[in-house]
Protein backbone atom coordinates (compact mmCIF):
# COMPACT_ATOMS: atom_id res chain seq x y z
CA UNK A 1 0.00 0.00 0.00
CA UNK A 2 1.40 3.36 -0.89
CA UNK A 3 1.50 6.45 1.29
CA UNK A 4 -1.37 8.18 -0.52
CA UNK A 5 -3.77 5.20 -0.04
CA UNK A 6 -2.81 4.96 3.62
CA UNK A 7 -3.58 8.67 4.23
CA UNK A 8 -6.96 8.36 2.47
CA UNK A 9 -7.96 5.28 4.51
CA UNK A 10 -6.76 6.85 7.76
CA UNK A 11 -8.69 10.05 6.97
CA UNK A 12 -11.90 8.12 6.23
CA UNK A 13 -11.58 6.12 9.47
CA UNK A 14 -10.89 9.29 11.47
CA UNK A 15 -13.87 11.10 9.92
CA UNK A 16 -16.14 8.09 10.56
CA UNK A 17 -14.98 7.97 14.19
CA UNK A 18 -15.61 11.68 14.70
CA UNK A 19 -19.00 11.39 13.06
CA UNK A 20 -19.86 8.47 15.36
CA UNK A 21 -18.79 10.44 18.45
CA UNK A 22 -20.88 13.44 17.41
CA UNK A 23 -24.00 11.51 16.37
CA UNK A 24 -24.12 8.89 19.16
CA UNK A 25 -25.89 11.16 21.71
CA UNK A 26 -28.38 12.21 19.03
CA UNK A 27 -29.09 8.69 17.80
CA UNK A 28 -29.00 7.03 21.23
CA UNK A 29 -30.17 9.54 23.87
CA UNK A 30 -29.61 8.70 27.53
CA UNK A 31 -32.74 7.70 29.36
CA UNK A 32 -32.55 8.05 33.12
CA UNK A 33 -34.32 5.36 35.07
CA UNK A 34 -36.93 6.67 37.46
CA UNK A 35 -35.62 6.30 40.96
CA UNK A 36 -38.27 6.15 43.63
CA UNK A 37 -37.80 6.53 47.33
CA UNK A 38 -35.54 3.98 48.94
CA UNK A 39 -36.97 1.30 51.16
CA UNK A 40 -37.27 2.34 54.81
CA UNK A 41 -34.12 1.54 56.73
CA UNK A 42 -32.39 2.27 60.03
CA UNK A 43 -32.00 5.91 60.97
CA UNK A 44 -34.79 7.19 58.70
CA UNK A 45 -38.33 8.20 59.72
CA UNK A 46 -40.88 5.41 59.70
CA UNK A 47 -43.62 5.99 57.11
CA UNK A 48 -46.82 6.83 58.92
CA UNK A 49 -50.10 5.05 58.32
CA UNK A 50 -53.61 4.58 59.64
CA UNK A 51 -55.34 1.21 59.31
CA UNK A 52 -58.50 -0.39 60.61
CA UNK A 53 -58.71 -3.19 63.13
CA UNK A 54 -61.11 -6.06 62.45
CA UNK A 55 -63.74 -4.31 64.62
CA UNK A 56 -63.52 -1.15 62.49
CA UNK A 57 -61.45 1.05 64.81
CA UNK A 58 -58.69 3.15 63.28
CA UNK A 59 -55.15 2.91 64.62
CA UNK A 60 -52.34 5.18 63.45
CA UNK A 61 -48.64 4.70 63.90
CA UNK A 62 -48.62 8.31 65.11
CA UNK A 63 -50.78 7.28 68.10
CA UNK A 64 -47.65 5.74 69.60
CA UNK A 65 -45.29 8.70 69.30
CA UNK A 66 -42.75 8.58 72.12
CA UNK A 67 -43.00 4.79 72.44
CA UNK A 68 -41.01 1.97 70.87
CA UNK A 69 -43.18 0.18 68.28
CA UNK A 70 -42.75 -3.00 66.31
CA UNK A 71 -44.65 -3.02 63.02
CA UNK A 72 -44.94 -6.71 62.19
CA UNK A 73 -46.22 -7.46 58.69
CA UNK A 74 -47.59 -10.96 58.34
CA UNK A 75 -50.10 -13.25 56.59
CA UNK A 76 -52.01 -16.31 57.77
CA UNK A 77 -50.42 -18.52 55.08
CA UNK A 78 -46.89 -17.59 56.24
CA UNK A 79 -45.47 -20.33 58.45
CA UNK A 80 -42.51 -18.19 59.57
CA UNK A 81 -44.92 -15.42 60.58
CA UNK A 82 -46.96 -17.84 62.68
CA UNK A 83 -43.83 -19.32 64.26
CA UNK A 84 -42.58 -15.84 65.23
CA UNK A 85 -45.78 -14.46 66.76
CA UNK A 86 -45.83 -16.45 70.04
CA UNK A 87 -42.39 -15.03 70.90
CA UNK A 88 -43.69 -11.56 70.07
CA UNK A 89 -46.58 -12.11 72.46
CA UNK A 90 -44.17 -12.98 75.27
CA UNK A 91 -42.03 -9.89 74.66
CA UNK A 92 -45.16 -7.76 74.40
CA UNK A 93 -46.40 -9.00 77.77
CA UNK A 94 -43.01 -8.24 79.34
CA UNK A 95 -42.59 -4.74 77.91
CA UNK A 96 -46.13 -3.44 77.43
CA UNK A 97 -46.03 -1.61 80.78
CA UNK A 98 -42.88 0.19 79.55
CA UNK A 99 -44.84 1.57 76.60
CA UNK A 100 -43.81 -1.01 73.98
CA UNK A 101 -46.41 -1.65 71.30
CA UNK A 102 -46.71 -4.23 68.53
CA UNK A 103 -48.86 -3.48 65.51
CA UNK A 104 -49.54 -6.76 63.71
CA UNK A 105 -50.23 -5.54 60.17
CA UNK A 106 -51.90 -8.30 58.21
CA UNK A 107 -51.05 -8.14 54.51
CA UNK A 108 -54.76 -8.51 53.83
CA UNK A 109 -54.33 -7.63 50.16
CA UNK A 110 -52.24 -10.83 49.89
CA UNK A 111 -54.15 -12.93 52.40
CA UNK A 112 -57.56 -14.43 53.06
CA UNK A 113 -59.26 -12.18 55.61
CA UNK A 114 -61.31 -14.97 57.20
CA UNK A 115 -58.23 -17.18 57.66
CA UNK A 116 -56.24 -14.27 59.11
CA UNK A 117 -58.99 -13.37 61.59
CA UNK A 118 -59.53 -17.00 62.61
CA UNK A 119 -55.82 -17.54 63.23
CA UNK A 120 -55.24 -14.30 65.13
CA UNK A 121 -58.30 -14.72 67.35
CA UNK A 122 -57.59 -18.41 68.03
CA UNK A 123 -54.12 -17.51 69.30
CA UNK A 124 -55.57 -14.81 71.57
CA UNK A 125 -52.80 -12.30 70.88
CA UNK A 126 -52.98 -9.20 73.09
CA UNK A 127 -51.49 -6.75 70.58
CA UNK A 128 -53.70 -5.20 67.90
CA UNK A 129 -54.22 -6.67 64.46
CA UNK A 130 -54.46 -4.13 61.63
CA UNK A 131 -55.79 -4.82 58.15
CA UNK A 132 -53.76 -3.60 55.18
CA UNK A 133 -56.60 -4.27 52.75
CA UNK A 134 -55.37 -2.02 49.94
CA UNK A 135 -51.67 -2.79 50.44
CA UNK A 136 -50.86 0.83 51.32
CA UNK A 137 -48.54 -0.05 54.21
CA UNK A 138 -46.92 -2.81 52.16
CA UNK A 139 -46.24 -0.22 49.47
CA UNK A 140 -45.00 2.47 51.88
CA UNK A 141 -42.57 0.01 53.50
CA UNK A 142 -41.72 -1.60 50.14
CA UNK A 143 -42.69 -5.02 51.46
CA UNK A 144 -40.75 -7.73 49.61
CA UNK A 145 -41.19 -10.74 51.89
CA UNK A 146 -43.19 -11.91 54.87
CA UNK A 147 -42.69 -11.57 57.69
CA UNK A 148 -41.13 -8.13 57.75
CA UNK A 149 -40.66 -6.39 61.07
CA UNK A 150 -39.76 -2.74 61.55
CA UNK A 151 -38.62 -1.74 65.02
CA UNK A 152 -39.28 1.97 65.51
CA UNK A 153 -37.59 4.04 68.18
CA UNK A 154 -39.60 6.37 70.44
CA UNK A 155 -38.42 9.34 68.32
CA UNK A 156 -40.12 7.82 65.23
CA UNK A 157 -36.91 6.77 63.50
CA UNK A 158 -36.42 3.21 62.35
CA UNK A 159 -34.09 1.25 64.61
CA UNK A 160 -34.00 -1.91 62.47
CA UNK A 161 -35.74 -3.74 59.63
CA UNK A 162 -35.84 -7.52 59.99
CA UNK A 163 -36.99 -9.58 57.02
CA UNK A 164 -37.85 -13.25 57.28
CA UNK A 165 -36.97 -15.45 60.21
CA UNK A 166 -34.37 -13.11 61.73
CA UNK A 167 -36.66 -11.68 64.42
CA UNK A 168 -36.20 -13.69 67.59
CA UNK A 169 -37.52 -13.16 71.06
CA UNK A 170 -33.94 -12.68 72.33
CA UNK A 171 -33.05 -10.10 69.70
CA UNK A 172 -36.23 -8.10 70.33
CA UNK A 173 -35.69 -8.18 74.10
CA UNK A 174 -32.10 -6.94 73.76
CA UNK A 175 -33.11 -4.20 71.31
CA UNK A 176 -35.94 -3.02 73.58
CA UNK A 177 -33.62 -2.89 76.57
CA UNK A 178 -31.35 -0.54 74.61
CA UNK A 179 -34.22 1.58 73.28
CA UNK A 180 -35.90 1.94 76.66
CA UNK A 181 -32.61 3.10 78.19
CA UNK A 182 -32.38 5.74 75.46
CA UNK A 183 -29.51 4.01 73.67
CA UNK A 184 -29.47 3.60 69.90
pLDDT at 98 over 70: yes
Residue 142 within any structural domain of the chain: yes
Q: Residue 147, preceding bond cis, omega within 30 degrees?
A: yes
pLDDT in tens, 121-154: 999 999 999 999 999 999 999 999 999 999 999 9
Residue 40 within any structural domain of the chain: no
How far is it, in rounded angstroms, from Cα 44 to Cα 157? 5
Query: Is 155 in the same domain as 65?
Result: yes
Q: Residue 63 belongs to a domain with what CATH number?
A: 3.40.30.10
How far is it, in rounded angstroms, from Cα 17 to Cα 88? 66
Query: Is 108 in the same domain as 157?
Result: yes
pLDDT at 33 over 80: no
Query: Is 81 in the same domain as 171?
Result: yes
Q: How far is CA 14 from CA 17, 20, 49, 148, in A?
A: 5, 10, 61, 58
Query: Is 25 in the same domain as 55?
Result: no
Query: Is 59 in the same domain as 148?
Result: yes
Helix, strand, coil percentages for the chain (3-state, nearest 5)? 45, 20, 35
pLDDT at 32 over 70: no
pLDDT in tens, 39-50: 788 999 999 999
Residue 42 within any structural domain of the chain: no
Enclosing domain of residue 78? 50-180
Query: Is 11 in the same domain as 69?
Result: no
Residue 37 within any structural domain of the chain: no
User: Angle CA(70)–CA(121)–CA(95) in degrees, nearest 5?
Assistant: 35
Instruction: Please provide the average confidence, as pLDDT, over all residues in the chain.
Output: 91
Query: Is 70 in the same domain as 19?
Result: no
Q: Output DSSP code: residue 128.
A: P
Higher pLDDT, 39 or 86: 86
Q: What is the band of 61 on the pLDDT scale with cuts at 50, 70, 90? A: very high
Q: What is the band of 35 on the pLDDT scale with cuts at 50, 70, 90? A: low
How far is it, in rounded angstroms, from Cα 130 to Cα 72? 10
pLDDT at 31 over 70: no
Kindly state the average pLDDT of the residues 74-96.
97
Residue 134 within any structural domain of the chain: yes
Query: Is 86 in the same domain as 17?
Result: no
How far is it, in rounded angstroms, from Cα 106 to Cα 114? 12
Residue 90 within any structural domain of the chain: yes
Kindly state the average pLDDT of the residues 105-109.
96
Amino acid sequence: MNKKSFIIIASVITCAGLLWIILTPVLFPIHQAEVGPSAPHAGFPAPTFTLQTPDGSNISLGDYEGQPVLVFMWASWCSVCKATMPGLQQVYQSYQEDGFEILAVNATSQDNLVNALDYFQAQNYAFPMLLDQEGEVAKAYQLRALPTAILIRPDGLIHDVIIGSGLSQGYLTAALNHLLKGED
